[in-house]
Amino acid sequence: QANMATTKVPEVRDITRIERIGAHSHIRGLGLDDALEPRQVASSPWR
């Protein structure tokens, strides 16, 4: 039974990593940097 528990851990890590990458891409897509501040851009369609 201990063997089953250890084989599931890498799967959970993979899912967590994929979710983290997805959240990072979403934040970048909103135009925010890692500190959740608006990124400086050369030209913005919102000006």
User: Over 80: is that where the pLDDT of 14 sits?
Assistant: yes
Range of the domain at 28: 1-47
pTM: 0.32
User: Over 80: is that where the pLDDT of 38 sits?
Assistant: yes
Percent of the chain whose predicted confidence (pLDDT) is above 70: 57
Banded model confidence at residue 46, pLDDT cuts 50, 70, 90: low
Residue found by looking up tokens 């369609």 in the block = 45
With residue 40 as reference, give the H or E element that holds it: none
Total structural domains in the chain? Answer: 1
The answer to whether residues 31 and 39 touch, using CB atoms and an 8 Å cutoff, is yes
CA 43 – CA 31 distance, rounded (Å): 12
CA 33 – CA 10 distance, rounded (Å): 29
Banded model confidence at residue 8, pLDDT cuts 50, 70, 90: low
Q: Long-range contacts made by residues 24-27, C-beta under 8 angstroms, separation at least 24?
A: none
Indicate the length of the chain as a whole number: 47
